[in-house]
Chains A and B, each alone.
Chain A
Amino acid sequence: MLQSFFNSWVTQNLITMAIIAVVMVAAVMMSRREYWRVAAREVCQKRAARFSFVILCIYAVVALLDSIGWRRPVVDASTGKTVLHASTGKPILDHGASALDYILKPISSKKETTYSAPLAERQFTTVIERAEDGSVARVHKALNYPCQHLLGTDIIGADVLALSLKSIRTGLIIGFLTTLIVIPFALFFGLCAGYYGGWADDIVQYLCTLISSIPSVLLIAALMLISGRGLPQLCMAVALTSWTGLCRLVRGEAIHLREMEYVQAARALGVSSWRIIVRHILPNLLHLVLINLVLKFSGLVLAEATLTYLGLGVSAETISWGTMINDARSELTRDPIIWWKLTSAFVFMLGLVLPANIFGDAVRDALDPRLRTQ
């Protein structure tokens, strides 16, 4: 049910739009506050951070293009007309594809039958061929589209470049969706525990201890076994195991802020607890939340690959760097080895994770007041 819900194009487009909207609203609200503007300026002043941000944006655009999709009427190849449904008379729609699929069509439609090295003219594997004179020889068959696969093809002849680009969406979803699930939980529980203290604190602390005492891989393993493999399940499982860290951070900071004199002053003026949390405590710990999330993001992307390898991540049909690396393991045992799939997965992943780390460091330097005073 969950799976089909997430797989429908309508919901997927809606979710994508919602995420864009949330990001836009957050950006607009932040840009109104001087503190964030100063921090953004500081990040932009670093060349490495600026460059990383551009790369991250490119990745994000690719992922967004891959998230918005539509179904098109099926066109009869011979007549060139749309096929109509026999009884209703409406055009029949295909399974649908994302914007990226349409863009990549020139590459991904160039199907081969098996492996080929980057920009090769012939297949990587040999087949036994009987020549006209009756002699038998092992030959590399010519490719359907020689010299057109920039990064080669995989076992079923799919273009590796297209695969790598399609993997971006999976990687970003793991990083982003998990974060979006974690934030409300961690903020709500952390703020309640930190600000109110008492039994609310006891309960939250207890929950955190309970969840964090189970090694996260094993908990994810349990959750994935129960819910079945898949991208949304993976995000949920990872979120469930990782909200405790942020929750503790928020709780600790809320306890610290609760004692700040401006909060005391607000209480003395009769401001309600709820209003104090929203107006004073939350804005003053938001930067820590942001630092934490940005720094964790790259870890999440890396975790996807590892979990997929362990059989806990996305299913084998989902295109992701994890599945690509997983396939590469058997490819490396061949002689000569098939290196291009592993290399492309590695390079594309590094291309996301390295800028994410550099950008994360810059964000931390700009927002962390402790480092700023040094």
Chain B
Amino acid sequence: MHYIIRRVLYFIPTLFSVNLFVFMLFFVVNTPDHIAKQALGEKASTPEMVQRWKEARGYALPLFFNRDSKGMGCLRDTIFYQKSLKMLWGDFGVSDMTLQPIGPEILRRIPPSLCLTFSVFLASLFFNIVIAMLVSANRNSHYDFGVQLACVFLMSVSSLIYIITAQYLFGKVLHVVPVSGFLPGKEMFRFLVLPVAIGILGNLGSGVRFYRTLFLEEMGRDYVRTARAKGLPEGKVLFVHVLKNALIPILTNVPVQLLMLIMGSLLLENFFSIPGMGGYTISAINAQDFAVVRTMVFLGSFLYMVGLVLTDLSYCLVDPRVKLV
């Protein structure tokens, strides 16, 4: 318990710093005037239009300290409080372009995104580990060599190519799956098969290589020799001794994998018109909607940190040396 509390307490200052960092980036490096001018068109904007634009979105306030307000208001009626600190308790304000609140939009878009990301994550973890295990059990064989060669090749192809060709091949030529779109419920499966398969393929090359090195490193350890000396069959040595130890570095890599997945799901959601957060982010980027991008940056790091804490906690399950005190 103590450990969990401590982890969570560590997490708050980092979250606060990310908040401050995002604020600096979006309001100090880049001023609201600049945002307004960009949105209205550099030449077409008059000072009055800029002022009106800013007021409509709450950007007309001072950055940190409002002299015109009274009491706590001088701190509260600022961009920092209104636009940045409020994100800490989930108030994301409105979109710059559509003036629609961002919060509900995100809530609506979370389930499809989660479905996609987690399916890709779990499936590729499974495939990567199984293939890597098989390869490292037969290391230095022709089979191993072939898989390694395939991995280098898979790694060298842009994920865009995978998506475009697969979509064309399975969607348009073979008509196996719908080209794009999304429906909740049972139908979801049909729409997710192709994106998930592409997601797995995109991760396979680097994933298998990574886990292979990891398993081979574990297999060179002394305890493996001890296990063999006990007369255990090779299968038991691999799947009990090696795998259980390898879980520790595998877990360490999970947050990194999740970060990579964000990029992948941006692409997949966009190509397959899945109404998730990735699609939302891309349209915000294309529309230069700073409010939405800002929210996404903050939310992304929040999710990452949650993942980090969860990983730390799950260490206790696999590594007896980590104590919950």
Are A329 and B281 in contact (CB-based, < 8 A)?
no
Are B263 and A311 in contact (CB-based, < 8 A)?
no
Are B301 and A213 in contact (CB-based, < 8 A)?
yes
- Does B133 have its Cβ within 8 Å of any Cβ on chain A? no
Nearest Cβ on chain B to A206's Cβ, whole angstroms: 8
Q: Name the residue on A nearest B11 (C-beta).
A: A213
Q: Name the residue on B nearest A303 (C-beta).
A: B263
Are A222 and B158 in contact (CB-based, < 8 A)?
no
- Which residues of chain B from 262 to 285 have any CB-CB distance to chain A below 8 Å in the complex? 262-263, 266-267, 270, 281-282, 285
A226 CB contact (under 8 Å) in B17, B29, B161, B296: B29
Are A217 and B14 in contact (CB-based, < 8 A)?
no
- Does B30 have its Cβ within 8 Å of any Cβ on chain A? yes
- Which residues of chain A from 340 to 374 have any CB-CB distance to chain B below 8 Å in the complex? 342, 346, 349-350, 353-354, 356-358, 361, 374
- Does B122 have its Cβ within 8 Å of any Cβ on chain A? no
Decide: A219 near B297, CB < 8 A? Known: A306-B158, A361-B152. Answer: yes
A98 to B153, CA, bound (A): 33
Nearest Cβ on chain B to A132's Cβ, whole angstroms: 40
The contact string, 1 if C-beta is below 8 Å from chain A, for chain B 169-194, is: 00000000000000000000000000
- Does A225 have its Cβ within 8 Å of any Cβ on chain B? yes
For the residues of B in contact with A, the DSSP-based class is helix
Are A213 and B152 in contact (CB-based, < 8 A)?
no
- Does A215 have its Cβ within 8 Å of any Cβ on chain B? yes
A312 to B296, CA, bound (A): 15
- Which residues of chain B from 288 to 325 have any CB-CB distance to chain A below 8 Å in the complex? 288, 290, 293-294, 296-297, 300-301, 304-305, 308
Q: Which residues of B contact A223 (CB under 8 A)?
A: 25
How many CB-defined contacts (below 8 Å) exist between A and B?
A: 112
Are A222 and B297 in contact (CB-based, < 8 A)?
yes
A25 to B160, CA, bound (A): 37
- Does A298 have its Cβ within 8 Å of any Cβ on chain B? yes
- Which residues of chain B from 34 to 81 have any CB-CB distance to chain A below 8 Å in the complex? none
A312 to B284, CA, bound (A): 12
Are A342 and B164 in contact (CB-based, < 8 A)?
yes
- Does A45 have its Cβ within 8 Å of any Cβ on chain B? no
Q: Which residues of B contact A214 (CB under 8 A)?
A: 18, 21-22, 297, 300-301, 304
Q: Which residues of B contact A62 (CB under 8 A)?
A: none
Binding site for B on A (CB under 8 A): 206, 209-210, 213-219, 221-223, 225-226, 298, 302, 305-306, 309-312, 321, 325, 328-329, 332, 337, 342, 346, 349-350, 353-354, 356-358, 361, 374
What are 23 A-to-B residue pairs whose CB atoms are below 8 Å? A210-B21, A213-B304, A213-B305, A214-B297, A214-B304, A215-B301, A218-B296, A218-B300, A222-B25, A222-B294, A222-B297, A223-B25, A225-B293, A298-B155, A309-B267, A310-B266, A310-B267, A310-B282, A312-B285, A325-B158, A346-B161, A357-B152, A357-B155
